[in-house]
Chains A and B, each alone.
Chain A
Amino acid sequence: AQSVAQPEDQVNVAEGNPLTVKCTYSVSGNPYLFWYVQYPNRGLQFLLKYITGDNLVKGSYGFEAEFNKSQTSFHLKKPSALVSDSALYFCAVRDTGGFKTIFGAGTRLFVKA
């Protein structure tokens, strides 16, 4: 069965510093991986996805993610964090059958000014 794990409940980073939010996955077959962001009392917003091709995927708001097949990881990164990036981030994997997306437990990012 497909699954994702986000090992950190919270990540703290100073504004202007690079940030990394970690995600590892377990799938059978080719992974379809996603990152979503959730602001307080809001729905989830799509950030980026990896389907195939380049291992470095660029997305919205300056975020990017690196797909690493050997380490089964899909870490979210940003070169310079903003206070407005503070939110809840979810890694997700599309089920092999394609009918459901499985989400991780989420990582809360706190960017301090």
Chain B
Amino acid sequence: DAGVTQSPTHLIKTRGQHVTLRCSPISGHKSVSWYQQVLGQGPQFIFQYYEKEERGRGNFPDRFSARQFPNYSSELNVNALLLGDSALYLCASSFGGLNTGELFFGEGSRLTVL
């Protein structure tokens, strides 16, 4: 079975642009979470979606938005990019929205903002 897949794997943007990152969860998983990992730090929670509804939001500005589609895939959008948005963006899936299960992570999308 395929794991969590993310695209693109690497991308370079300039300040002020916007970016869309995509994630496909493991088949059968209904929850998708997004994390930002800045070099040298632990992943920081951005969003969680379950059954196409936002269930949790981290401490990120409104420039960050996301959505989940009927097939449970998800997009993370970031507008008006800043240099500080440069990071590895990780998507993780899990079966349920409120459970004690572990997260399954994709390889991430590395965003560089120049």
Chain A residues with a Cβ under 8 A of chain B: 32, 34, 36, 41-46, 49, 51, 90, 94-95, 97-106
Q: Taking the complex as formed, is B73 at the interface, i.e. its CB lies under 8 A from any CB of chain A? A: no
CB distance from A71 to the nearest CB of B (A): 21
Chain B residues with a Cβ under 8 A of chain A: 4, 33, 35, 41-45, 48, 50, 55-56, 58, 90, 92, 97-100, 102-108, 110
Whether A43 lies near B97 (C-beta < 8 A) is no
Q: Which 9 A-B pairs rank lowest in CB-CB distance, beginning with the nearest?
A: A99-B56, A43-B105, A103-B42, A98-B98, A46-B102, A100-B45, A44-B105, A99-B55, A51-B100
Q: Given A97-B98, A98-B98, A43–B45 Cβ distance below 8 Å?
A: no
Whether B48 lies near A99 (C-beta < 8 A) is yes
Whether A105 lies near B48 (C-beta < 8 A) is no
Can you report 7 residue pairs joining A to B where beta carbons are below 8 Å apart? A36-B105, A44-B43, A90-B42, A100-B56, A101-B33, A101-B103, A106-B42
Our pick among A41, A49, A101 for the contact of B45 (Cβ within 8 Å) is: A101
